[in-house]
Amino acid sequence: MRASTVLKTGAAAAATAVVGGLASGPAVQSDWYANLRKPSFQPPRQAFPIVWPLLYADIAGVSAATIDELSARGDREGARTFSLLLALNLLLNGSWTWFFFNQRKLGASAVVAGALAVSSTDLTRRAVRAKGPSANALWPYPIWCTFATALSSRIWWLNR
């Protein structure tokens, strides 16, 4: 894995984390969020700052390895496509936070979460196809995004 590729995917994941933190930080402490009805399967607040940095590191590492593998094979188009799909995925990731916490659009955030789960699954599938079993390390990301979709949808339903 090339250092330049890891720096690029790491910077993209870190930028997404910063965007998410800017949107969610103040909102999580707000009366609005405190008063939302939440499902019984809502994780404790402390879980999110543990889970997301691990997922972002995973995204950066597996994505860099995948892009470099595709490039090493001479599949420049595959590397370019993966990079574009990664950018789209991270855009969806950051957008969910803004829709939910900043704009307080629960329905839209549930839809974006669903799109993120689909995008994450596709990204993981592509990584596994390119890198083999080592890319299976990315599977926690779409699993978490699928869980987040269920959580977002249920919060939307409870607070219609």
State residue 45's pLDDT score. Answer: 86
- pTM listed for this prediction: 0.94
State residue 10's pLDDT score. Answer: 98
State residue 51's pLDDT score. Answer: 95
State residue 56's pLDDT score. Answer: 98
Residue ranges for the chain with pLDDT beneath 50: none
Burial (Cβ within 10 Å: 0-12, 13-18, ≥19) of residue 23: buried
Tokens of 127: 């990584």
Q: Is 43 left (phi over 0), alpha (psi -120 to 50) or beta?
A: beta
